[in-house]
Chains A and B, each alone.
Chain A
Amino acid sequence: MQTVLELRALSKHFPTHRAVDGVSFAIGRGEFFSLVGPSGCGKTTTLRLIAGFEEPTSGQLLLDGHSVEGLPAYRRDVSTVFQNYALFPHLTVAQNVAFGLARRAQNGKPAIAGKIAKALELVHLSGKEARLPNQISGGERQRVALARSLVLEPKVLLLDEPLSALDAKLRKEMRQELKNLQRTIGIAFLFVTHDQEEALSLSDRVAIMHRGLLEQVGTPQAVYRTPKTRFVAEFLGDVNWLEGAGVRPEAVRISRTAPVSAERATAAVVEGQTFLGNCVHLSAKLENGSACVVEMAQQECDFQPGERIYLWWQKADEFRVPNEAAA
């Protein structure tokens, strides 16, 4: 895949802390790339560095192979969808979408008219051209923000937690719409979120950040199944740390008799179970005192507290991370 955006040891240091610390990754043309991490990890600052709202302390930013870290925001061929959408309240939907094109016309860059209608159609907002931002719903405002950025055909679209202002049901709907949209237009998306489920479900590749550092980059399957650090393992889901290795609850099997052909097995005692709606988490205690959580369907779970059972899993489902103090 051809690289459209590359960060090389990009850093942003503030007097009090290092918001972004030597972050390097590359995004390919047409890729859906997520940047995920807890609040304060530096993902929004990274986004702002790419957009041009902050100047990096050191490092390089390459767009299509060209260095852009010295360019102001209005000269970079990237566009941002803000968390609060930042629609211009005094302009109609159509005028908002046309804003970038109008500026291009003024600044001597070629602007193709007629793209506004097409952009609105793409986000399913045809017919609302004359409305003002305060006359449309939150979800519709987000689509205007998308159309406004996409109509400029940027090399990369930067999305700053675009779904966090929506309620749960709308979020799920918009996730699918965003994915479809990205596939249709084929522009690279850099999607910033704190929700790991969102990142894993939408992305071609995911980058996890923590305290300004890039912890790991990879496909959703790769980072979930083989996390490289303890933080990544625990951020992306529940982990059982058993005998120096990590195993996901859904990878652990349980039986009353000793398993015959398991690569890994251990004896344990059932402690209890928690009903989570779509599954059950059964907690057990190993002989060496460690705790383990097993995920299973409700129908499979007829184990009582105090029962002696065997837990087993495949070696392939295990992962090991460098020994570090718990995050």
Chain B
Amino acid sequence: MKPFLPVYACAAYLFLYLPLLALGAFSFNNSKIAVWQGFSLAWYNGVFHNSALLEGTLHSLVIAVVATVAATSIGTLAAYALWKKRVAWLTGSLYLSLLSPEIVTGVSLLVFFQWMFHFLRLQLGLHTVILAHISFCLAYVVIVILARLRTFDRSLEEAALDLGANEWQAFRYVTAPLLLPGIVAAALLCFTVSFDDYVITSLVAGVNSETLPMIIYAMARKGVSPEVNALSVMITVGLGTLVLISGRLERQR
């Protein structure tokens, strides 16, 4: 019993990290095949010279930033309102949105946009992707902020009101500043979720708005591409850093 758990845990962590570590190791490989042939930064170089990849990254960043700003603001306000008074249908729908399979969310948004395009003369593009991302990121933001608010001392807002602050001022000068670490944590989480999305994005993106995950997917389907390895490492390290910062902020008191 005693030695089993730690050994098992080691094996489990290995299982979790091995594929990524292997990918990372071979991204520095001086060869296309899975045999080590020396250290090389060629693939990283290749990524920076691949215009399609760079354009895809740009699209993903723009989408993630806009969707994050929107979803974080809307979500924070909504979470605050829900904390003050429960609204069953909204909480329920956010919960459902979180658990819905991405394919259903993606399909429903595609269908919705195409239906809307009967009335507006628009096409699928970055704007539809951004709207889609705001929709599915909202639940993540609300959950993070609500969790923060649950530990919040309600008498602080009462004290603010007592001292002459109206409801907005109480929020602006007392609750919001104290909520800031949580808001940033939610934003970082939102960014990560948005940047990585493939399923929903691929359905509502249209022709000229390829995102990075869409490009990686296409490359992964085709076969071995060491540039994808290098790219993967960079994305993993980048997103991983954001997640670590987000976790740090969430725990801050």
Q: CB atoms of A and B under 8 A apart anywhere in the complex?
A: yes
Pick from B153, B160, B177, B178 the residue with the most CB of A within 10 Å. Answer: B160
Partner of A86, one of B156, B173, B178: B156
Please state if A152 and B159 are interface contacts (CB–CB under 8 Å): no
Cα–Cα distance between A107 and B160 once the two chains are bound (Å): 14
The interface residues of chain B lying within 8 Å CB-to-CB of A89 are 178
Given contacts A86-B155, A99-B173, contact A107 B164 (CB under 8 A): yes
The interface residues of chain A lying within 8 Å CB-to-CB of B161 are 52-53, 72-74
User: Would you call A103 an interface residue if the criterion is a C-beta within 8 Å of the partner chain's C-beta atoms?
Assistant: yes
Cα–Cα distance between A74 and B162 once the two chains are bound (Å): 5
The interface residues of chain A lying within 8 Å CB-to-CB of B163 are 74, 79, 99-100, 103, 148-149, 152
User: Would you call A216 an interface residue if the criterion is a C-beta within 8 Å of the partner chain's C-beta atoms?
Assistant: no
Please state if A107 and B166 are interface contacts (CB–CB under 8 Å): yes
The interface residues of chain A lying within 8 Å CB-to-CB of B169 are 103, 106
Please state if B165 and A90 are interface contacts (CB–CB under 8 Å): no
Given contacts A88-B174, A89-B178, A90-B177, contact A104 B155 (CB under 8 A): no
Please state if B160 and A99 are interface contacts (CB–CB under 8 Å): yes
Give B239 Cβ to nearest chain A Cβ, in Å.
30
Give A212 Cβ to nearest chain B Cβ, in Å.
22
User: Would you call B158 an interface residue if the criterion is a C-beta within 8 Å of the partner chain's C-beta atoms?
Assistant: yes
Q: Which of A49-101 contact B (CB under 8 A)?
A: 51-53, 72-74, 78-80, 82, 84, 86-90, 99-100
Known A52-B161, A84-B155, A87-B159; 17 more pairs at CB < 8 Å:
A51-B158, A53-B158, A53-B161, A72-B166, A74-B162, A74-B164, A80-B158, A80-B159, A82-B159, A84-B153, A86-B156, A88-B174, A90-B177, A90-B178, A103-B164, A103-B165, A106-B169
Q: Which of B84-115 contact A (CB under 8 A)?
A: none
Q: Chain A interface: which size bin? A: 20 to 34
Cα–Cα distance between A74 and B171 once the two chains are bound (Å): 13
Cα–Cα distance between A88 and B175 once the two chains are bound (Å): 9
Give B93 Cβ to nearest chain A Cβ, in Å.
28
Cα–Cα distance between A241 and B165 once the two chains are bound (Å): 52
Cα–Cα distance between A109 and B164 once the two chains are bound (Å): 10
Nearest-neighbor residue (CB-CB) of B169 within chain A: A103
Nearest-neighbor residue (CB-CB) of A76 within chain B: B162
User: CB-CB contacts of B169-188 with A at 8 A, as 1s and 0s?
Assistant: 10001100110000000000
User: CB-CB contacts of B52-70 with A at 8 A, as 1s and 0s?
Assistant: 0000000000000000000
Pick from B155, B162, B165, B177 the residue with the most CB of A within 10 Å. Answer: B162
The interface residues of chain A lying within 8 Å CB-to-CB of B162 are 51-53, 73-74, 78-80, 149
Please state if B158 and A82 are interface contacts (CB–CB under 8 Å): yes
Give A1 Cβ to nearest chain B Cβ, in Å.
25
Cα–Cα distance between A109 and B169 once the two chains are bound (Å): 15
Cα–Cα distance between A73 and B177 once the two chains are bound (Å): 22
Cα–Cα distance between A99 and B169 once the two chains are bound (Å): 11
Give B42 Cβ to nearest chain A Cβ, in Å.
50
Q: Which 6 pairs from chain A and chain B are nearest by CB?
A: A100-B163, A86-B159, A73-B161, A86-B155, A103-B164, A103-B165
Complex A-B: 25 CB contacts under 8 Å: A51-B158, A52-B161, A72-B166, A73-B158, A74-B161, A74-B163, A74-B165, A79-B162, A79-B163, A82-B155, A82-B158, A84-B153, A86-B156, A86-B158, A88-B156, A89-B178, A90-B177, A103-B163, A103-B164, A103-B165, A103-B173, A106-B169, A109-B164, A148-B163, A152-B164
